[in-house]
Amino acid sequence: MKVAIVGITGVVGETILRVLDERSVAIDELGAFASRDRREPLLWRGRPWPILAATPRALREGGFDAVFFASSDDASAELAEHAVAGGAAVIDNSATFRMRDGVPLIVPEVNPHAVGDDDMIFPVANCTAIVLCVALAPIARAAGLRSVRVATYQAVSGAGRAGLDALEREEKAAYRLEENLASSPFVRQIFRNVIPQVGSIDEFGDSGEEKKIAAETRKMLELPDLHVAATAVRVPVRYAHSEAVFVETERDTDPVALGEALGAAPGVVFFPDGNVTPRDVEGEDRVFVSRLRAEEGPSKRHFQLWVVGDQVRKGAATNAVQILELLIAREHFTKSKRQVLAD
Ligand SMILES: NC(=O)c1ccc[n+]([C@@H]2O[C@H](COP(=O)([O-])OP(=O)(O)OC[C@H]3O[C@@H](n4cnc5c(N)ncnc54)[C@H](OP(=O)(O)O)[C@@H]3O)[C@@H](O)[C@H]2O)c1
């Protein structure tokens, strides 16, 4: 199998490579792409692979079976269709195709059935929404879902290499008592701070991240009328997003029944006691749920939980590789190759 990664020098791209190794995905050839050529090749699986600027031609004529995009919305918009024209399945971490009608938004633990035989573009959903949906899916199955409210505590790596660098620079400057004049992807200092804005704010006061969480959660859970309200906050944590989640179920239930559903759910680790922090889950592929409890009062439909997941892994790279594995299992590549040859 011949696979390419666009954005191989970034946080998600390099993690995709690591996850492909960890899961021993059989790959014979790698196309390594970034925004520009690099002098030094990438060493992977004992071989050097040149890192090249991603171009429409390279992606259309590269003979790739699958292309991971881990770059930017603009790069996916410009290049993904060329990869598809060359016969590749596109697994895209950007927001470009996520909400398009007819395009599935797959989280293998939640909605693997949504993969269609003719689909060629597979967006990976927003990282915060993936972590949320892995935890919500068993609750929805057990008791239905009427509404979800969530406050997020999002790691700086969610803004890629630039986010990690900004926190590190601010830390160093603070400890050396220096002024830090370098630019940052965040609207305020993030070191020793929390910022209640992830993405740009629209005319109604919602941030881009908050809108993605709501829309993509509805799409992944296949609940188009689900009420979802989010406040997204950036915190000075390197990896893993945390989420304080408040749910209203459709049917009466209790924490014991919900805990059993969460404990049995694929991709979830449920802690009935204690709590889980982002540092505990760095490098993990599963989503961790703790502090599940009923809200005070007579209602048997209002619950709170604390959800944590490594967003670079389950929220991006691991979910992308799981989609590739799902396609391999469905013999997608045998079929799509045949189709290209027949055309
Ligand atoms: N970080 C996360 O937690 C996370 C989670 C979910 C989804 N995502 C999404 O995943 C994608 C990558 O994010 P990231 O965090 O890995 O960002 P990043 O660390 O900033 O890396 C971006 C990568 O994209 C490459 N790139 C930029 N413009 C390009 C272009 N026009 N053509 C080809 N390559 C280009 C960069 O190459 P150069 O090194 O040459 O600049 C770099 O390899 C984004 O769409 C992001 O929204 C990220």
* 113 flagged as catalytic: no
Q: What sign results for the dihedral spanned by CA atoms 29, 4, 239, 192?
A: positive
Give the H/E segment covering residue 318.
helix 318-329
Is 36 in contact with 59 (CB distance < 8 Å)?
Answer: no
Kindly report, residue by residue over 263-289, the tens digit of the pLDDT. Answer: 999 999 999 999 999 999 999 999 999
Checking if the pLDDT of 338 tops 50, the result is no
Q: What is the DSSP letter of 336?
A: H
Nearest CA to ligand 1 atom 15: 160
pLDDT for the residue 340: 54
Of residues 82, 133, 227, 241, which has the active-site annotation? 241
Catalytic residue status for 127: yes
Closest C-alpha residue for ligand 1 atom 14 = 160
> Which position has the token pair 């945390």?
242
Query: 98-142, pLDDT tens digit by residue?
Result: 999 999 999 999 999 999 999 999 999 999 999 999 999 999 999
DSSP secondary-structure letter at 69? E
Distances (CA, A) of 288 to 249, 265, 276, 293, 303: 20, 11, 7, 15, 16
Mutate which of 8, 14, 15, 35 to test ligand 1's pocket (most atoms within 8 Å of Cβ)? 35
- 170 Cα to the center of ligand 1, angstroms: 22
209 backbone φψ class: left, alpha, beta (φ>0; ψ -120 to 50):
alpha
- Ligand 1 atom having least distance to the Cα of 15: 16
> Is the per-residue pLDDT at 31 higher than 50?
yes
Round to the nearest angstrom and report the end-to-end CA distance of the chain. Answer: 21
DSSP 215-261: HHHHHHHT-TT-EEEEE--B-S-SS-EEEEEEEE-SS---HHHHHHH
Q: Do 90 and 121 form a contact (C-beta atoms < 8 A)?
A: yes
Distance 337 CA to ligand 1 centre (A): 28
- Spacing, Cα 63 to ligand 1 middle (Å): 23
**From CA 38, how far away is CA 67, in angstroms rounded?**
19
Instruction: Give the type of residue at 114.
Output: A
Q: How many angstroms separate the CA atoms of 134 and 313, rounded?
A: 13
DSSP string, 31-66: EEEESS--SSPEEETTEEE-EEE--HHHHHSS--SE
Is 342's pLDDT higher than 80?
no
pLDDT digits (tens, 9 = 90+) for 211-229: 999 999 999 999 999 999 9
Tell me the three state secondary structure of residue 73.
helix
Cα angle 224, 288, 276; round to 5:
130
Q: Using CA positions, which residue lies closest to atom 11 of ligand 1?
A: 70
Q: Which two tokens stand for residue 326?
A: 């799902």
Which residues have CB under 6 Å of ligand 1?
A: 6-13, 33-36, 54, 70-72, 75, 93-94, 127, 157-158, 160-162, 311-312, 315-316
Question: How would you classify the pairing of strands 2-6 and 287-294?
Answer: unpaired
Specify the residue with its C-alpha closest to ligand 1, atom 35: 35
